[in-house]
Structure 1
Amino acid sequence: MRACAAPPFAADAPRVDDARWRAHDLLRVARLAPSDNEPDWVRGALARAPWVVVRRTCAAAGFVAVGVRGCVRSERFGTWLNTEDIESSSSPEDLRDVEPLSTRRALPAFIALATLRATASPLRNHVWGPTGSAGFELATGVPTLTASSDLDILIRLPQRISRAAIDTLAQTLAQAASRAGTRIDAQLETPAGGVALAELAAHKPRVLARASSGAQRIADPWQAP
Structure 2
Amino acid sequence: MTVVPSGSHARRTAAEEPHDGPRRRVGPLAALDGRLPGAHDLLLMQCPSSLCPLAGGELPDWARAVLRAHPWVTVGRAPSVVGSPVDLPHPQRCTRDPEAAPELWFPVTVRGPRPGQRLDALAPWAAVARTLRPEQLAERRERLDAERVAGIPALALLPEAGRVVADHRLSWGPIGAIGYELGTGVPVAGPLSPLRLVLRAPHPISRRDALQLRRALSKLPVPVQAELETRYGAVQLAEYAASPYTLTLLTPYGPREVRDPWFPRGPFV
**TM-score, normalised relative to structure 2:** 0.71
Deviations 1:197-216 (A, max 9, x none): 11112211111111112111
1:78 alignment counterpart: 120
Paired residues of 1:30 and 1:86 also in contact (CA < 8 A):
yes
By percentage of residues, which structure has more strand? Answer: 1
* CA distance in 1: counterparts of 2:227 and 2:113, whole angstroms: 23
Identity %: 31
Question: Which residue identity is paired with 2:108?
Answer: V
1:160 aligns with 2:204: yes
Would you say the 8 A contact 1:96–1:128 is kept in 2?
no
Alpha-carbon shift at residue 219 of structure 1 (Å) = 0.7
Within 1, Cα distance between the matches of 2:106 and 2:75?
A: 7
Choose 1 or 2 for highest CA Rg. Answer: 2
1:67 lines up with 2:109 in the alignment: yes
CA distance in 2, matches of 1:67, 1:57: 11
Contact 2:51–2:124 (CA<8 Å) still a contact in 1? Answer: no
1:79–1:111: structure 2 CA closer, same or farther, 3 Å change rule?
A: same
Preserved CA contact (<8 Å) 2:106 2:125: yes
3-state SS of paired residue (2:160): helix
Backbone CA RMSD of aligned residues: 1.9
* Superposition map of 1:1-225 within 5 A: 19-32=35-48, 33=50, 35=52, 36=57, 38-61=59-82, 62-99=104-141, 100-106=144-150, 107-117=152-162, 119=163, 121-123=165-167, 125-176=169-220, 178=221, 182-224=222-264
CA deviation string 1:73-109 (max 9, x = no partner): 3211110111111010000001122223212111111
Is the CA contact (8 Å cut-off) linking 1:95 and 1:139 kept in structure 2?
A: yes
Structure with higher RCO (Cα < 8 A, 6+ apart): 1
* Letter matched to residue 194 of structure 2: D
Task: Report the AA paired with residue 196 of structure 1.
Answer: Q
Q: Distance in 2 between matches of 1:59 and 1:46?
A: 21
1:165 partner amino acid: D
* Conserved? CA contact 1:199–1:207, under 8 Å: yes
Answer whether contact 2:42 2:132 (CA < 8 A) is retained: yes
Note the C-alpha offset of 1:141: 0.9
TM-score (norm 1): 0.84
* Alpha-carbon distance in structure 2 between the residues aligned to 1:123 and 1:82: 38
Specify every segment of 5 or more residues in structure 1 that has no aligned partner in the other structure, as ranges.
1-17
